[in-house]
Each structure stands twice: as structure tokens, then as C-alpha cells.
Amino acid sequence: EPEVTQTPSHQVTQMGQEVILRCVPISNHLYFYWYRQILGQKVEFLVSFYNNEISEKSEIFDDQFSVERPDGSNFTLKIRSTKLEDSAMYFCASSEALAGYNEQFFGPGTRLTVL
């Protein structure tokens, strides 16, 4: 069964450093998303991506964040200068197409720890 994969599973970084979180969405999916979950809190939407551009982003997704689909398979989230409050579990998700409803499939997450 196809699944969304994410690497690394755990990333530890120093405050101010850049991190890149990687995701491989399901191959025939066209919509890609990043969500985050701060420990003990709810899952929050960060950004959605379609046709090589951002289709929607939340207030959390400021200039420190960027997304990219560098090739036909990967979808990345970059945080330019990490802050302590960026420590969270980051989930990638993908879905098939625009028309009607299509389920979002989630990856296992990357736990980011900023020291």
C-alpha cells in the first residue's frame, strides 16, 4: 500500500540554524501539505502546495519557512533560522486531486528539537 514517507524521523538542531525536512508524497498525488504539532497541542496547518506553488498558508508560515518540490518525488519544508518555539512534530500529507473530496494521507512525522 502506498504511503507518505518522511526523513529524518528526528532532527536536533541549534537555534539559528537552518533545517530541511523531507517528505516523499504518494506518487500520483497532486496536493501536498505540511502540518505541525507542538508537544501536547493540536495539529496545526502550515501550508498547502499545488502545481508548484503555495495554494494556502497559515499565519505560522512566515518568511522563515519555505517549501519546495525540487524534483518529481520530494517535497521539502525549510526553516531558515530555527527558534526554540519551532520545536514540534512536523507532518507531511498528500492528497489526490481537487474535485470533490480526497483524503489526506499523513506521513509518520519528523520530530524537530531546537536547542
Partner 1 sequence: AQSVTQLGSHVSVSEGALVLLRCNYSSSVPPYLFWYVQYPNQGLQLLLKYTSAATLVKGINGFEAEFKKSETSFHLTKPSAHMSDAAEYFCAVSKGGGNKLTFGTGTQLKVEL
Chain residues binding partner 1 by CB under 8 A are 30-31, 33, 35, 41-45, 48, 50, 55-56, 58, 91, 95, 97-109
- Shortest separation between residue 74's beta carbon and partner 1, angstroms: 18
Instruction: State the virtual CA torsion across 79, 70, 95, 52 in degrees, nearest 10.
Output: 90
Fill in the amino acid letter for 16. Answer: G
Q: How far apart are CA 106 and CA 91, in angstroms?
A: 7
Question: Which residue's CB is nearer to partner 1, number 44 or number 74?
Answer: 44
Candidates 93, 76, 89; CA nearest to 30 is: 93
- Nearer CB in complex with partner 1: 58/81: 58
User: Is the backbone of residue 109 left (phi > 0), alpha (psi -120 to 50) or beta?
Assistant: left
- Quick one: 13 or 102, whose CB is closer to partner 1? 102
Q: How far is the CB of 45 from partner 1 (least distance, A)?
A: 4
Q: Least distance in Å: CB of 108 to partner 1?
A: 4
Nearest-approach distance from CB 66 to partner 1, in angstroms: 18
Q: Find, among 67, 66, 64, the residue nearest to 81 by Cα.
A: 64
